[in-house]
Amino acid sequence: MVAGEEPGRQLITPTLMFVGEVCGKAEEAINFYTSVFPDSKVDGILRYSEGEDPDEEGTIKHGSFLLAGQEFAAMDSARGHDFGFNEAISFLMSWETQEEIDHYWDSLSAVPEAEQCGWLKDRYGLSWQVVPSAMDEMLRTGTKEQLARVTEAFLKMKKFDLAELRIAYEVGGER
Protein backbone atom coordinates (compact mmCIF):
# COMPACT_ATOMS: atom_id res chain seq x y z
CA MET A 1 0.00 0.00 0.00
CA VAL A 2 2.85 2.38 0.66
CA ALA A 3 5.40 3.14 -2.04
CA GLY A 4 8.32 3.42 0.40
CA GLU A 5 10.57 6.18 1.60
CA GLU A 6 10.27 8.61 -1.29
CA PRO A 7 11.59 12.10 -0.46
CA GLY A 8 8.89 14.69 0.16
CA ARG A 9 6.21 12.03 0.55
CA GLN A 10 3.05 12.94 2.50
CA LEU A 11 2.89 11.57 6.02
CA ILE A 12 -0.89 11.08 5.93
CA THR A 13 -2.72 9.78 2.86
CA PRO A 14 -6.54 9.75 2.76
CA THR A 15 -7.66 6.28 1.64
CA LEU A 16 -11.11 5.63 0.23
CA MET A 17 -12.66 2.15 0.53
CA PHE A 18 -15.44 1.54 -1.98
CA VAL A 19 -17.89 -0.92 -0.40
CA GLY A 20 -21.52 -1.92 -0.77
CA GLU A 21 -23.29 -0.32 -3.72
CA VAL A 22 -20.11 1.52 -4.83
CA CYS A 23 -17.85 -1.56 -4.61
CA GLY A 24 -16.15 -2.05 -7.97
CA LYS A 25 -16.23 1.69 -8.71
CA ALA A 26 -12.85 2.69 -7.27
CA GLU A 27 -11.19 2.86 -10.68
CA GLU A 28 -14.07 4.84 -12.16
CA ALA A 29 -13.87 7.24 -9.20
CA ILE A 30 -10.10 7.63 -9.48
CA ASN A 31 -10.43 8.45 -13.18
CA PHE A 32 -13.28 10.87 -12.50
CA TYR A 33 -11.51 12.72 -9.68
CA THR A 34 -8.25 13.03 -11.63
CA SER A 35 -10.22 14.50 -14.55
CA VAL A 36 -11.80 17.18 -12.33
CA PHE A 37 -8.73 18.52 -10.51
CA PRO A 38 -5.60 20.05 -12.04
CA ASP A 39 -2.18 18.58 -11.13
CA SER A 40 -3.76 15.14 -10.82
CA LYS A 41 -2.75 11.71 -12.03
CA VAL A 42 -3.05 7.99 -11.38
CA ASP A 43 0.16 6.78 -9.72
CA GLY A 44 -0.44 3.05 -9.67
CA ILE A 45 -3.07 0.36 -9.62
CA LEU A 46 -2.86 -3.10 -8.03
CA ARG A 47 -5.78 -5.33 -9.02
CA TYR A 48 -7.43 -8.31 -7.41
CA SER A 49 -6.51 -11.58 -9.12
CA GLU A 50 -8.64 -14.60 -9.87
CA GLY A 51 -9.51 -16.49 -6.72
CA GLU A 52 -9.38 -13.53 -4.32
CA ASP A 53 -13.05 -13.98 -3.47
CA PRO A 54 -15.27 -12.28 -2.61
CA ASP A 55 -13.54 -9.52 -4.56
CA GLU A 56 -14.00 -9.54 -8.29
CA GLU A 57 -10.97 -10.13 -10.50
CA GLY A 58 -9.70 -6.88 -12.00
CA THR A 59 -11.19 -4.55 -9.38
CA ILE A 60 -8.89 -2.32 -7.35
CA LYS A 61 -7.01 -3.94 -4.49
CA HIS A 62 -5.09 -0.70 -4.06
CA GLY A 63 -4.81 2.39 -6.21
CA SER A 64 -2.75 5.49 -5.60
CA PHE A 65 -3.40 8.84 -7.22
CA LEU A 66 -2.80 12.56 -6.87
CA LEU A 67 -5.54 15.19 -6.67
CA ALA A 68 -4.32 18.77 -6.96
CA GLY A 69 -0.87 17.50 -6.00
CA GLN A 70 -2.06 15.65 -2.88
CA GLU A 71 -1.75 11.90 -2.47
CA PHE A 72 -4.84 9.73 -2.13
CA ALA A 73 -5.44 6.00 -2.21
CA ALA A 74 -8.50 3.93 -3.02
CA MET A 75 -9.60 0.33 -2.93
CA ASP A 76 -12.62 -1.85 -3.58
CA SER A 77 -13.79 -4.33 -0.96
CA ALA A 78 -16.61 -6.78 -1.61
CA ARG A 79 -16.45 -8.13 1.94
CA GLY A 80 -19.43 -7.49 4.19
CA HIS A 81 -19.03 -4.07 5.80
CA ASP A 82 -21.39 -2.18 8.06
CA PHE A 83 -20.10 1.19 6.85
CA GLY A 84 -19.78 3.33 3.77
CA PHE A 85 -19.02 6.92 2.96
CA ASN A 86 -20.93 9.44 5.07
CA GLU A 87 -20.86 13.07 6.15
CA ALA A 88 -18.60 12.34 9.14
CA ILE A 89 -15.64 12.77 6.77
CA SER A 90 -15.48 15.39 4.03
CA PHE A 91 -12.86 16.97 1.81
CA LEU A 92 -12.63 20.74 2.18
CA MET A 93 -11.64 22.83 -0.83
CA SER A 94 -10.95 26.54 -0.58
CA TRP A 95 -11.15 28.59 -3.80
CA GLU A 96 -10.41 32.20 -4.67
CA THR A 97 -13.08 32.88 -7.31
CA GLN A 98 -16.74 32.18 -7.96
CA GLU A 99 -15.72 30.53 -11.24
CA GLU A 100 -13.63 27.98 -9.31
CA ILE A 101 -16.44 27.40 -6.81
CA ASP A 102 -18.91 26.90 -9.68
CA HIS A 103 -16.58 24.51 -11.55
CA TYR A 104 -15.98 22.18 -8.60
CA TRP A 105 -19.57 22.36 -7.40
CA ASP A 106 -20.95 21.60 -10.85
CA SER A 107 -18.39 18.83 -11.43
CA LEU A 108 -18.87 17.05 -8.11
CA SER A 109 -22.42 17.58 -6.84
CA ALA A 110 -24.68 14.61 -7.58
CA VAL A 111 -27.16 14.55 -4.69
CA PRO A 112 -29.12 17.84 -4.62
CA GLU A 113 -30.88 17.02 -1.35
CA ALA A 114 -27.47 16.76 0.38
CA GLU A 115 -26.43 20.30 -0.64
CA GLN A 116 -26.23 22.80 2.20
CA CYS A 117 -23.83 25.56 3.33
CA GLY A 118 -21.13 24.65 0.80
CA TRP A 119 -21.43 20.89 1.41
CA LEU A 120 -22.21 18.47 -1.39
CA LYS A 121 -22.20 14.75 -2.00
CA ASP A 122 -20.72 13.24 -5.16
CA ARG A 123 -21.91 10.28 -7.24
CA TYR A 124 -19.94 7.85 -5.03
CA GLY A 125 -21.34 9.18 -1.76
CA LEU A 126 -18.27 11.21 -0.72
CA SER A 127 -18.88 14.56 0.97
CA TRP A 128 -17.03 17.68 -0.14
CA GLN A 129 -17.04 21.27 1.11
CA VAL A 130 -16.55 23.91 -1.59
CA VAL A 131 -15.87 27.25 0.09
CA PRO A 132 -14.48 30.64 -0.89
CA SER A 133 -11.07 31.29 0.65
CA ALA A 134 -12.27 34.82 1.49
CA MET A 135 -14.68 33.33 4.01
CA ASP A 136 -11.81 32.35 6.30
CA GLU A 137 -10.67 35.97 6.49
CA MET A 138 -14.24 37.19 7.02
CA LEU A 139 -14.85 34.77 9.88
CA ARG A 140 -11.46 35.40 11.53
CA THR A 141 -11.41 39.19 11.38
CA GLY A 142 -15.00 40.37 11.21
CA THR A 143 -16.85 42.25 13.88
CA LYS A 144 -19.61 40.49 15.78
CA GLU A 145 -22.15 42.12 13.45
CA GLN A 146 -20.23 41.12 10.32
CA LEU A 147 -19.94 37.52 11.54
CA ALA A 148 -23.67 37.42 12.23
CA ARG A 149 -24.51 38.78 8.76
CA VAL A 150 -22.13 36.40 6.95
CA THR A 151 -23.42 33.45 8.96
CA GLU A 152 -27.04 34.39 8.27
CA ALA A 153 -26.23 34.71 4.55
CA PHE A 154 -24.39 31.41 4.19
CA LEU A 155 -26.94 29.40 6.18
CA LYS A 156 -29.44 30.14 3.40
CA MET A 157 -27.07 28.98 0.64
CA LYS A 158 -26.45 25.61 -0.90
CA LYS A 159 -23.52 26.59 -3.14
CA PHE A 160 -21.68 29.62 -1.76
CA ASP A 161 -22.16 32.88 -3.60
CA LEU A 162 -18.98 34.86 -2.99
CA ALA A 163 -20.51 38.20 -4.06
CA GLU A 164 -23.44 37.78 -1.64
CA LEU A 165 -21.07 36.86 1.20
CA ARG A 166 -18.95 39.94 0.52
CA ILE A 167 -22.03 42.17 0.50
CA ALA A 168 -23.20 40.67 3.80
CA TYR A 169 -19.74 41.21 5.27
CA GLU A 170 -19.10 44.72 3.94
CA VAL A 171 -22.45 46.46 3.95
CA GLY A 172 -24.94 44.07 5.44
CA GLY A 173 -27.37 44.17 2.55
CA GLU A 174 -28.43 41.73 -0.10
CA ARG A 175 -28.46 42.32 -3.83
Which pLDDT tens digit goes with each residue over 85-111?
A: 999 999 999 999 999 999 999 999 999
Residues 6+ apart with CB under 8 A from 80: none
Whether residue 71 sits in one domain with residue 124: no
Decide which of 27, 52, 76 is a domain's last residue. Answer: 76
Taking the CA atoms of 16, 22, 25 and 30 in sequence, report the sign of the dihedral they define.
Answer: negative
Q: Stretch 42-71: mean pLDDT, rounded?
A: 96
158 within a domain of the structure (yes/no): yes
Q: Is residue 106 part of a domain?
A: yes
Residue 118's CATH number: 3.10.180.10
| pLDDT tens readout for residues 126-166 | 999 999 999 999 999 999 999 999 999 999 999 999 999 99
Q: Are residues 146 and 95 in the same domain?
A: yes
**What strand order describes the sheet that includes 127-132?**
90-95, 127-132, 119-121
The count of structural domains within the chain is 2
72 with 98, same domain? no
- Separation of alpha carbons 166 and 172, rounded Å: 9
Q: Which range of residues forms the domain containing residue 106? A: 90-170
Is residue 107 located within the same domain as residue 161? Answer: yes
Region 36-47 average pLDDT: 96
Rounded distance between C-alpha atoms, residue 138 and residue 150, angstroms? 8
Are residues 129 and 59 both part of a single domain?
no
For 60-80, what is each residue's pLDDT tens digit? Answer: 999 999 999 999 999 999 999
Confirm whether 117 is domain-assigned: yes
8 falls within a domain: no
Pair (94, 162) in one structural domain: yes
Query: How far apart are the C-alpha atoms of 144 and 11, rounded to whole Å?
Result: 38
In a domain, 160, yes or no: yes
